[in-house]
Amino acid sequence: MKKKLLFLMSFLLLFTSVYANGKKKMTLNINHIVFEKDFIVKNDRIHIPLRLVSENLGADVNWKGDTKEVEILNQGKKIVFYIDSKEYRIDDMVYTIDSPTFILDDTAYVPARALANAMNAKLEWNEKDFYCAINNGHEIDPSRDIDPIKDAKDLATINKIRKVTDLEGYLKDGVMRVEEVDDGKVYELFLKDYEKKNLSMRFIFDRNNNLEFYKFYYFPNEKYPFLEKHLSEEESRKLARDFMNLVGDKKRFLKESELNKYQKAYLPDAGTYVFYTKSGDVNVDASGGFVYAYSNS
């Protein structure tokens, strides 16, 4: 009985040591995004978290529990790793690897080299520093869809601005994306199948929902022509004042004598006017009759 107990304890110790002793922390750099993550040394091979790496390389990952498969959809290719198997598949081609894919603590681990090859990514491993870099050139879009509740205050201001600047309503049904940054939020309004540099809007709000920056990017053409209004300087000044009132900016415009040397030296494009405040400026397209830029820093 004693021998059986000793054998059982030895077996359990050997089994757990394969994982516990092989689990270490490393610096994992995926497309220049750095993580401090566990990796597993098993069968003399480095195993890395399959989902974390694949998704940050731009792929979609699906877990199929009934067949114990991890399916990766990457750039039109279907990659499948089989749990506890030394085989994986890319479309109809089957490949063999030295060490099987396995699950530990609800995370699937796969040999680093095999995953990099399957994802057409470059792999760099520094054993001395426990550093692994995997790069396939994919850039993750940091923006998200609009949340009507979370973004409500900013959206109300954006809608007011669009109505008095996008006079033809070209962006009325445009796509809106938002990126959350340290100091607030950055919004982009654009058409799905049209170059942003030719027709889009950009807005930056601080954490208190104050507009800090606005720019209307546009290039008139036959498909998207603009009205011709040809406002005078005084009419343009009034338009700029109305815009500032709209966004809650009560600062007055600087007089000519109050401008600094850079503001005095700046020559705006023909048909446009720039009106300065102590902390920013308002830019008016007099030929089209709308404000195309604003800053308040």
For 3, the 3-state DSSP assignment is helix
Instruction: Note whether 52 and 190 are same-domain residues.
Output: no
Judge whether 247 lies within some domain. Answer: yes
Domain tally for the chain? 2
Instruction: Choose one of 76, 100, 135: the last residue of a domain.
Output: 135
Cβ-Cβ contacts under 8 Å for 184 (sequence gap 6 or more): 204, 205, 206, 207, 212
Single-letter residue type at 10: S
Instruction: Note whether 170 and 283 are same-domain residues.
Output: yes
Please tell me the distance from the alpha carbon of residue 251 to that of residue 235, in angstroms, as a whole number: 18
Across residues 105-124, what is the average pLDDT? 93
**What is the predicted pLDDT for the residue at 297?**
82
User: 140 vs 222, which has greater pLDDT?
Assistant: 222
Instruction: Note whether 250 and 154 are same-domain residues.
Output: yes
**What is the predicted pLDDT for the residue at 12?**
39
Judge whether 10 lies within some domain. Answer: no
Mean pLDDT, rounded, of the chain: 89
Instruction: Note whether 35 and 131 are same-domain residues.
Output: yes
pTM of the model: 0.61
Judge whether 32 lies within some domain. Answer: yes
**What is the predicted pLDDT for the residue at 23?**
67
Instruction: Note whether 66 and 196 are same-domain residues.
Output: no
Judge whether 61 lies within some domain. Answer: yes
Judge whether 15 lies within some domain. Answer: no
Q: What is the tens place of the pLDDT at every residue in 226-266?
A: 888 899 999 999 999 999 999 999 999 999 999 999 999 99
110 neighbors 81 (Cβ within 8 angstroms) = yes
Q: What is the tens place of the pLDDT at every residue in 197-209?
A: 999 999 999 999 9
Spell out the long-range contacts of 221-226 with Cβ–Cβ below 8 A and sequence spacing 24 or more: 224/168, 224/170, 224/198, 224/199, 225/168, 226/167, 226/168, 226/288
Instruction: Choose one of 71, 106, 135: the last residue of a domain.
Output: 135
Across residues 172-185, what is the average pLDDT? 93
Place 38 in a pLDDT band, splitting at 50, 70 and 90.
confident
| CATH code of residue 109 | 3.30.457.10
Instruction: Note whether 289 and 154 are same-domain residues.
Output: yes
List the domain range (segments joined by +) for residue 160. 148-296
Judge whether 140 lies within some domain. Answer: no
Judge whether 96 lies within some domain. Answer: yes
Phi, psi (degrees; rounded to nearest 5) at 241: -65, -45
- Burial (Cβ within 10 Å: 0-12, 13-18, ≥19) of residue 187: buried
- Of 16-20, 149-153, 166-170, give the lowest mean pLDDT range: 16-20
Place 139 in a pLDDT band, splitting at 50, 70 and 90.
confident
